[in-house]
């Protein structure tokens, strides 16, 4: 019954996303806003899809990341390729059920921004890369993408944020979730989301990704 409930919610959300996506094609200047909304609805639907296939066991970090990468790939097909760097042990970290949806929306926004604003291309330096790393305080998720931050942008001071980033900022819960967005090289933007303990508890003896 629980799986069936998640399945029905997933189907309803996917139907809503499809309806919004259809209207986005004829929305003119509002097309980008509707497309962002489609991505946000699809991110929540992806969580219910995971639960509909598994019942209600904890969702792992790898399952969530792989599902969201696939969702963004389908929504922004012209963007640079996304490469998720596997991290043994960290990938198996369970996400508490109360944190899955907010985390899915935040990561979806980070991937969406990387896809929308990155420099498109097919060479290795054009790729969007997703890294995870564990430390004694939790897990860091880093997304590197080619591109540059706009003039006047300052995430820490909430300056120059679009609707998606404003939503993401509202969902952050310092000190348990903390985000930085930096221009790390003239050609690369890096977003680092740190998930502290609690609620994220990485496994012991993990392989770190530098």
Mean pLDDT by 10 residues, the chain (210 residues): 66 76 69 80 83 73 91 77 86 86 90 78 77 89 90 88 84 86 91 80 45
Q: Whole-model pTM above 0.85?
A: no
Predicted local confidence at residue 1, as pLDDT: 59
Collect all residues with Cβ–Cβ distance below 8 Å to 62 and sequence separation of at least 6.
86, 91, 92
Q: What are the residues whose beta carbons fall under 8 Å from the beta carbon of 31, sequence distance 6 or more?
A: 24, 25
- Among 130, 65, 40, 58, smallest CA distance to 95 is for 58
- Identify the CA nearest to 131 among candidates 122, 118, 140, 120: 140
Give kind and range of the element (H or E) at residue 3: helix 2-24
For residue 204, what pLDDT is reported? 46
Per-residue model confidence (pLDDT) at position 192? 95
Q: Can you name the residues that pair with 130 across neighbouring β-strands? A: 84, 143
The C-alpha angle 192, 92, 155, rounded to 5 degrees, equals 15
Q: How far apart are the first and last CA of the chain?
A: 42
At 210 the pLDDT is 40
Reported CATH class of domain 58-210: alpha beta
The Cα 140–Cα 193 span in angstroms is: 6
Task: Delimit the domains of the chain by residue range.
Answer: 1-57, 58-210
């Amino acid at each position: 019954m629980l799986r069936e409930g998640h399945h029905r919610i997933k189907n309803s959300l996917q139907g809503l996303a499809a309806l919004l996506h259809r209207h986005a094609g004829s929305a003119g200047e509002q097309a980008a806003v509707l497309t962002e909304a489609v991505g946000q609805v699809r991110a929540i639907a992806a969580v219910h899809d995971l639960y509909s296939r598994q019942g209600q066991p904890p969702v792992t970090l790898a399952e969530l990341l792989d599902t969201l990468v696939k969702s963004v790939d389908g929504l922004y097909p012209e963007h640079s390729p996304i490469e998720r760097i596997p991290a043994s042990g960290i990938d198996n970290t369970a996400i508490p059920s109360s944190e899955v949806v907010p985390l899915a929306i935040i990561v979806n926004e980070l991937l969406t921004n990387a896809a929308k604003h990155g420099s498109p291309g097919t060479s290795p330096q054009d790729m969007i890369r997703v890294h995870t790393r564990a430390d004694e305080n939790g897990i860091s998720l880093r997304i590197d993408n080619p591109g540059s931050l706009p003039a006047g942008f300052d995430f820490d001071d909430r300056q120059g944020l679009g609707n998606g980033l404003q939503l993401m900022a509202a969902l952050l819960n310092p000190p348990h979730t903390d985000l930085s967005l930096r221009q790390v090289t003239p050609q690369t933007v890096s977003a680092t989301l740190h998930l502290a303990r609690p609620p994220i508890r990485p496994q012991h003896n993990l392989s770190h990704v530098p």
